[in-house]
Structure 1
Amino acid sequence: MSSNVHGRERVKASEELVRKRREREAVKIKQYNDLVQQCQEQFRNENYNHETLSLTTRILEMNPDYYTIWNTRRLVLLRGILVESPQSLNDVEQNRTTYKKELDLFMQLIRINPKSYWMWNHRRWCLETMPKPNWPAELGLVEKLLSLDARNFHGWTYRRYVVRQLRKEAKEKEQDEKIVRSEYDFTTKKINESFSNFSAWYQRTRLLPEIVHNLSVDKKNAIAKDELYLVKEAIYTEPEDQSAWLYYRWIVGHVPDPIQFIGAFKLTSSPLVILIFDDDVSFVSAPTMIEDKTEDTVEGSWLPVGRNSSSSTSTVWVYKPKTANSSPATVRISSSNLMPSTRSKATLTTSLERPIIKIPADDVSATCLARIEERLKTDHWTPSTKRSIPVSSISSQCAWHTLDHARLLKEEIFTVRELLEIEPNSKWALQTLAHFINQLRLLGSCENTDDALAEVISIYEDLAKLDTYRRHRYRDASK
C-alpha cells in the first residue's frame, strides 16, 4: 500500500506512541464498562432517580448508539423523574424543564453522530410524550440541520414526521394545502442547491400527486412537463449521479411487467402439483386441472404456500386432487382469473395452458410436501368474493398525469440518445435507455419488438463490459 494518502505522507507511529494510545483507550474502555455496570445495577434495584439518569447521560456521551441505555433512560424518566399526573403549576413546570433538558441533550449528542437512529427516536418520544410540543420550532430545527447536511436521510425522515404532525394540527383545508406546498418548495430549493440530493427528489414523489390532485388535466400535464425540464437539467449537469435518473423514471412512469408463470411441477412420490409464479399472485377462482386422456376437469383443493400462512397470495400454489387415483396432466389459467398482488405486475392478456412436468423427488422435498399434504386435510384456500388486490393493466403509468405514455417514452428515448452522444459511457444514461426501450416494448408500441429487445440486450452487454463490478446485475437484467 502506498505511504502517500490524499497527498499527505503516511508516518508510521512509533511503538511508544502506539503503546500510549492503547493505554489511554484501555482506561476509557474501563471507565465505560464501569459506568454501564453501575447503571445496570441501579436499574435492577429500581433506583429511578437523577443519579441513574446521570449515569445514562455519561454513557450516551461516550456511545450515543447504545439503544438499551436510551430505553433505560426513558423508563427512569417515566418511573421516577416526570410527574405522572401533574396537578400544580410546579409539577407542570418540572415536567417542562425535564423535557427541555432531554431535547437539549439531543442537540448536544447529535454533534457526535447526526445519523444515530436512537437519538432521533428519543427526540420523537419526547415530543409525543410532552404536552403541547412546538412543531413549527421543530420544522425550523430540522431545516437548520439539513442546511448543514442536506442529504442526511435521518433529517429528511424526521422532517416528514414533523410535517405529518403539523398537518394533523391544521384546522382548515387551506392551511393543510399550504404546508404541503411549502414542503414542495423546500424540495425545489434543495434540488437547486444540489441535483444529487436523493432525499429531496424522493420527497417530491410523495408530494406531487397530492399537490396536483384537484387540478385540471391540462394543469397536471403542464406540471409534469415542468418536472421533466427540471430533471433533464439535472441529468445533463450530473449524468453519473443516480438521484435524478431515478426521479426521471418515476416521472415517465412504469409499465408493469406481465406476471410470469414459471411452470407446474409434480414430484413422482407425491400426488400434489406445485404451481410457481415470479411474484405473489391470487386467484378469482381455482385454475382448471385437466386429465390427459379424457380431458375431464379434475377437482381438488388449493393452498397458497408462503411466508404468511394466513395470506391468500403467494408465488407458490399447491394443488391436491380430490381422489387419490386422479392424475391431471395439464393446468389452465384464464386471463381474468389470475390477480397480481402489486401494481408492479400486470394481469395476463391471454389465458395460459401448461403441461404438468414430473420431476424426481429428494428427501427434503418429499418431507416438505408431506407436511403440506397433512395441512391440506384441515386447511385449504377458498375464492374471495372481493377483488381487494390492486390490478394493473399493461397501460398503467405514473398515475398523477395523463401524458400519452407511448409518445412520452419515445421523446425521452430521443433525449437520452442525445445525451449519450455527449457522454457515451454514462452508465445511468445507458441503463435508462435500456429501461425506456423495454417499457415501450412492454407497452406494445415499438415498430419492431424483436429489434427493440435485441438493442436492450446489447446495451446491457455493453454495461457489463463498462461496469464489471455490476456485470452480473446487468446480465440478469438482460434476461
Structure 2
Amino acid sequence: MHGRVKVRTTEEEKARKEKEKQEKLKVFKHAMQKIWDKRKKEELDLELMELTGKVLTSNPDIYTLWNIRREILNIFRKDMESEGQQLVDLYDAELRLTEYCLKINPKSYCAWHQREWVLTTRSNPDWKTELALCNKYLKFDERNFHTWDYRRFVISQCKPSLKEEFDYTTEKLLDNFSNYSAWHYRSKILVDLHPDLEAGRPIEDEHHKHELKMVESAAFTDPDDTSAWFYQRWLLGAVKTTVDLVVCTISPLKTTVAFNEPVSKDYVQMTTNLLINDVSVNGEWLPCEGKKYNNVWIFKHNEIIGDNLDIKVEYNRENDDKLIILCIQKNSLYIGRNNISFQRKYSEPVIEELKKQLDSCRQLLTMEPDNKWTLLTTTFLLHCINAKHYHNEVIDILKTLQIKDKMHAGYYGDLITKWSIELQLEDDYRNEELELKVKFAEKISSLPHLHYYSFCENVNLFNQNLTSRVLSTLSVLQHCKKLSLENNNLTTLKGFPSLNLEELNLRGNKDLDMKEVEIFKQQNNYNVIF
C-alpha cells in the first residue's frame, strides 16, 4: 500500500546481508592480493601504504600489514638524512590512521602498538596529545586495559606529576569501583609516590591505612565485585620483605644452604662464607634446582668432613648486617638453622586498621553469610593480624569455602597446606626437629617451603593428597636418605629428581604403572618399595 515502508522478510534480509558480505570479501581479497604482489616485488612505496591503509580501516588487526607499513616508513627514514616535512607528514598520517582504527576497535593490540612505535621512532613526539587521547578513550570505556597500558607507556615518556596520575585513578575509581586496570595502575604509582623510606616498608603508614579504608568502601559497596578485593589482597601483601639464609647443612657427601627466597649464584658468592675451624673454605656454588635463581645452593669443596669440627656460616645481610650461623653436629650432619617467622610485620596503626576491617567483614557476614569474597578476605585478615592465634578459625573458614565454592576447592586446599606448613615449620625449627613429618590433620596437596627441610635425612609424606606434579620440587631434599610417598595420588614418576636416597616408599599409589616402576628401579641404585 502507498505510504507504508516496505519491511524486508527475514529471508530477504538474510540474502541481502550475504550479498554484501560476499562483495566486501571480494574487494578484500583483491586488495590483499595486490598487497602481496607488491610486497613480493619489493615495491615498498606510497601506493602500498595507501593499499594497506584502506584494508586496515576495515580490519585493524591484520598485524602483517602494520609490519609492512613500519618497513616502508623505515625505508623512507633511512633515505632522508634528516626528518623533513614529508616524513613528519607520514608520521602524522600514521597516527591519524591508528586513531581511526582505534575508533573501530579500541582494543586492537596492533593499532596501539603501531602508535607506540611511531612515537618512539619520530624525533618530535607530542606526549601531551597522547595523554589527552588516553583521557578521551578512558571516558568511552574506563576499564579498557589496552588504554591503561598505553597510558603507562606515555607516562614513562613524559613523566608528569605522580600525584596527578594518582588523583586520576581516584577519579576513575569513584566513577566505577569495578575497574581492575585503575586499581592495578594505582598500585604501581602508590609505592613510588608514598614509600616508607625510614622503616623500609613499601608504603608509608598513613597512606597504607588510607588505601585500606578506600578499598573497604569499594568492597562493601558491591561485595560480589572482585576488583576491590584483589587490590586489598595486594595491600595486605605490601610489607617489608628481605632475603635471608634459613638453614645450612654440611655432610661428608654434600654441603648446602637454603634461602627464604630464590637467589642467584652471584648473590650467594657475595654474601655467604663457610668456615671450618675458623678457616674460610674455597669452593664452587652449584644450583640445586638447575635454574638461574634457586632457593637451595650446593657448595662443592674438597674439605674432609669428620666429627667434632667447628663449622659456621657467615651471611652478610642487607645494610652490612652480618649473621653467624653455628652448625651443630647431629649424627653425620652439621646443621645450622636461623630463626624463622612467617608472620607478616605491619606497623601498629596498620594493624589497628586491619582489626577494624575484620570487624566490618564479620558484620557483613551476619547479613551475607555465604559471600565467598567476604569469607576469604576474613581469612586473610585473620592470618595477617596473628596467624598463629587465629589459625584454627582460618582453617575452618577455608574448609567451609571448599564446600561452598567447589570450583576453587583446590586453591583453598593449597592455602590450608601453605599456612599449616608455615605454622609447623616455626615449631620444627624451634624444637630442632631432624625429620619432616606432617603433624596436622589436614592432608597436604602441595609442598610449599620444602627447601626449609633441605637438611632432613628422613622425609615422611605418607597418606597425603600429593600428585606427580610435586615430584620435581623434591630436588631440594639433597640430604634425604629415606623418603616415603606411600598412599598418595602419584600417576607417573616422570620428573623425579636425582637424589642420594637409600629407600623410596611408593606403596599405595594405585595409579602408578608397574612397568614404569620396574624401569625406575633399574635406573636407580636404592631400594624402591612398591
Residues 1:199 and 2:181 are matched in the alignment: yes
1:43 paired with 2:39, answer: yes
Q: 2:139 aligns with which of 147, 154, 159?
A: 147
Closer/same/farther in 2, CA of residues 232 and 303 from structure 1, 3 Å limit: same
Cα distance change of structure 1 residues 182 and 466 upon mapping to structure 2, 3 Å threshold = same
Bigger RCO of structures 1 and 2 (CA < 8 A, at least 6 apart): 1
Task: Indicate the residue corresponding to 2:190 in structure 1.
Answer: 208
| Structure 1 residues 288 and 129, CA gap change in structure 2 (3 angstroms) | same
Within the candidate set 241, 244, 247, 2:231 is matched to 247
The runs of 5 or more residues in structure 1 that have no matched partner are 1-12, 168-175, 291-296, 341-346, 358-391, 443-448
Q: 2:166 aligns with which of 177, 181, 184?
A: 184
Query: Which residue of 1 is the match for residue 401 of structure 2?
Result: 463
The residue aligned with 1:383 is: none
Say if 1:239 and 1:429, in contact at 8 Å, map to a contact too: yes
Q: 2:297 aligns with which of 310, 317, 327?
A: 317
Alignment check: 8 A CA contact 1:49 1:81 kept: no
In structure 2, the residue matched to 1:163 is 155
Seen in structure 2, the aligned counterparts of structure 1 residues 117 and 356 have a Cα distance that, compared at 3 Å, is: farther
TM-score normalised by structure 2 residue count: 0.60
Deviations 1:276-318 (A, max 9, x none): 777413543256899xxxxxx998643025565xx4x313433
Letter in 1 for 2:408: R
Q: How does 1:100-179 map to 2 (within 5 A)?
A: 100-167=92-159, 179=161
Aligned-residue offset at 1:475:
0.7
Structure 1 pair 307/145, CA: closer, same or farther in 2 (3 Å)? farther
Q: Secondary structure at the match of 1:478?
A: helix
Pair 1:61-2:61 in alignment: no
Q: Distance in 2 between the 1:306 and 1:35 partners?
A: 54
Instruction: Give yes or no for the alignment of 1:238 onto 2:218.
Output: no
**CA distance in structure 1 between the aligned counterparts of 2:232 and 2:179, rounded to whole angstroms:** 14
Q: Deviations over 1:98-153 (max 9, x none)?
A: 22211111121113321222211111122222332222222111101001110111
Supply the distance in 2 between the matched residues of 1:190 and 1:348 (Cα, whole angstroms): 48
Matched, 1:414 2:359: yes
Q: Is the 8 A contact 2:312 2:324 kept in 1?
A: no
CA distance in 2, matches of 1:350, 1:441: 28
| Correspondence 1:452 to 2:434 | no
Matches within 5 A, 1:250-329: 250-252=234-236, 253-254=238-239, 279-281=261-263, 283=268, 284-285=271-272, 301-305=284-288, 311=292, 313-320=293-300, 322=302
Distance 1:69 1:203, change over 3 A: same
Measure how far apart 1:192 and its partner are. Answer: 0.7
State the distance in 2 between where 1:319 and 1:25 align. 69
Unpaired stretches in structure 2, ≥5 consecutive residues: 1-9, 333-339, 418-530
The 1:272/1:422 distance shift into structure 2, 3 A limit, reads same
Deviations 1:409-450 (A, max 9, x none): 3333223222222222222222221112222335xxxxxx2x
- Equivalent of residue 432 in structure 1, options 377, 385, 406: 377
For 1:123 and 1:285, locate their aligned partners in 2 and report how far apart those are by CA, in whole Å.
48
Of stretches 38-47 and 226-235 in structure 1, the one that deviates more from structure 2 is 38-47
Match of 1:172 in 2: none
Alignment of 1:314-393 (within 5 A): 314-320=294-300, 322=302, 337=315
Partner of 1:473: 411
- Contact kept, 8 Å, 1:156 with 1:199, in 2: the verdict is yes
What is the CA–CA distance in structure 1 between the aligned matches of 2:24 and 2:345, rounded to whole Å?
A: 57
Deviation at 1:320, TM superposition (A): 4.2
- Give the direction of change, closer, same or farther, for the CA distance of 1:205–1:461 in structure 2 (3 Å limit): same
SS at 2:88 equivalent:
helix
* Change beyond 3 A, Cα 1:465–1:45: same
**CA spacing shift, 1:79–1:412, aligned 2, 3 Å:** same
AA partner of residue 130 (structure 1): R
1:180–1:275 Cα change, 3 Å:
closer
1:441 and 2:392 matched: no
CA-based RMSD of the aligned residues comes to 4.7
SS at 1:43's partner residue?
Answer: helix
One-letter identity of the residue aligned with 1:197: N
1:96 pairs with 85, 88, 92, which one?
88
Q: Distance in 2 between matches of 1:356 and 1:111?
A: 73
* Change in 2 beyond 3 A, CA 1:108/1:262: farther
- For residues 136-180 of structure 1, the C-alpha deviation after alignment (integer angstroms, 9 at most, x for no partner) is 22211110100111011111121122223222xxxxxxxx5xx22
- Structure 2 CA distance for partners of 1:140 and 1:101, relative to 1, 3 Å: same
Counterpart amino acid of residue 412 in structure 1: Q
- 2:247/2:259 contact within 8 Å kept: yes
Match of 1:368 in 2: none
122 and 466 in structure 1: CA distance in 2 versus 1, 3 angstrom threshold = same
Decide whether aligned partners of structure 1 residues 212 and 80 sit closer, same or farther in structure 2, where only a CA change above 3 A counts.
Answer: closer
- Higher deviation after alignment, 103-112 or 253-262: 253-262
Cα distance change on mapping 1:318 and 1:36 into 2, 3 Å: farther
Instruction: Measure, in 2, the Cα distance between the counterparts of 1:354 and 1:119.
Output: 65
SS at match of 2:272: coil
Give CA deviations for 1:316-354 in whole Å, capped at 9, x if unaligned. 43354637x9799xxx986x74979xxxxxx99998889
- Displacement of 1:474 in angstroms is 1.0
Q: Partner letter of residue 453 of structure 1?
A: H
Task: Give yes or no for the alignment of 1:228 onto 2:212.
Answer: yes
CA contact (8 A) 1:39 1:55 kept: yes
- 1:234 is displaced (CA, Å) by 0.8
User: Partner amino acid for 1:474?
Assistant: Y
8 Å CA contact retained: 1:413, 1:433: yes
Contact 2:109 2:146 in 1 (8 A): yes
Structure 1 residues 120 and 138: CA distance shift in structure 2, 3 A: same
For residues 156 and 423 of structure 1, the distance between their equivalents in structure 2, rounded to whole angstroms, comes to 34
Tell me if the contact between 2:196 and 2:205 (Cα under 8 Å) persists in the aligned partners: no
